[in-house]
Structure 1
């Protein structure tokens, strides 16, 4: 069995789920976690953040329910409403980080969201991936180059297809996938680590 975490780096609820995922991986260090980018803000949804009038209210609810904090630098980044959340760029960056340290994908996904929601860094900027990689002890220049490489764009497209194949309707979605490839939903949106743990036990994970 493995976990498949389908998220979007620009999704506030995915950011709010990070503490739960951290706790699950701490409790079950031997359980592999595959991270898949979902592609929330692509195509016609890749527009200035002012087009999503619910952002501030949604963030307040996420903070209240999950305890995550939205940093002052993030608030400054989105203050005038012109910032564009581009999930294809974020997925390319996640692919670049994941390629360098696949066994740390869950940790790196959380770090990527911290870079945006706490530090106010654009996930369309190669320098962001350099910084995240270096903070994680990885080769920042190599990751920044990989972000710009067409291979990462291809990996992002594969992630979007994989999310669709799992039938994911919302982010984040945490799945348990058995050795035969059968997927069971463990969480969608918000869930605590104890809730996820109970569902894993019910599936026979020990």
Structure 2
């Protein structure tokens, strides 16, 4: 069995899921975790944040339910409403981190979301990936180079296609995959304990 975590780096609920996934990986180090970008803010949804009037209310709910904090840097970034969340750019960054250190993808994508939601760093800026990579002890220039490489856009599109093939249209979604069986064990929010219980139930029926 392996887990497939379909998320979007610009999704507040995906950010709220970080503590759950981190704890689950700590509890179940035996499980491989594939991280896939879903593409929430693309096409007609790639607009200034002011057009999403629900953001502040949603963030308050996410904090209340999950305990994650939205930092002062993030508040400054979105204050005038002009910032554009571009999920294609964020997905390119995820693929850059994933190919650089595939065994640390859960840790690195968590750091990427903290860079946005706490520090207020744009996920469209190569410097953000240098910052995240350097903090993780990776080659910062190599990660930034992978982010800007021509094939990064194709890799992002491949992630979006993978999410669609899996039938995922809400983020985050955590899937358990074993053979030809794929089961959603969390959508939106769940605790590590709840997911662990669901995984044990699945294992008992396999």
Q: Give, in whole Å, the separation in 2 of the partners of 1:38 and 1:9.
A: 9
The equivalent of 1:66 in structure 2 is 66
Q: Give, in whole Å, the separation in 1 of the partners of 2:123 and 2:176.
A: 28
**Are 1:30 and 2:35 matched, yes or no?**
no
Please report the TM-score for the alignment, with normalisation by the length of structure 1. Answer: 0.98
1:72-127 Cα distance to aligned partner (Å, 9 max, x none): 01000000000000000000000000000111111111111000000100000000
**Are 1:85 and 2:47 matched, yes or no?**
no
Which stretch of the first structure deviates more once superposed, 104-113 or 51-60? 104-113
The equivalent of 2:21 in structure 1 is 21
The equivalent of 2:135 in structure 1 is 135
Following superposition, which runs of at least 4 residues in structure 1 exceed 3 angstroms of deviation?
none
Q: Give, in whole Å, the separation in 2 of the partners of 1:107 and 1:17.
A: 13
Q: How many angstroms does 1:24 deviate by?
A: 0.4
Q: How many angstroms does 1:181 deviate by?
A: 3.7
**Which aligned pairs between 1:20-169 and structure 2 lie closer than 5 A?**
20-169=20-169
Q: What is the SS of the residue equivalent to 1:34?
A: strand
Q: What is the SS of the residue equivalent to 1:168?
A: coil
User: How large is the Cα RMSD of the aligned pairs?
Assistant: 0.8
Q: Give, in whole Å, the separation in 1 of the partners of 2:140 and 2:125.
A: 13
Please report the TM-score for the alignment, with normalisation by the length of structure 2. Answer: 0.98
Q: How many residue pairs end up in the alignment? A: 204
Q: What is the SS of the residue equivalent to 1:185?
A: strand
Q: Give, in whole Å, the separation in 2 of the partners of 1:32 and 1:152.
A: 23
Q: How many angstroms does 1:150 deviate by?
A: 1.6
Q: Give, in whole Å, the separation in 1 of the partners of 2:182 and 2:112.
A: 26
Residue ranges of structure 2 left out of the alignment (5+ in a row): none
Q: Give, in whole Å, the separation in 2 of the partners of 1:22 and 1:167.
A: 24
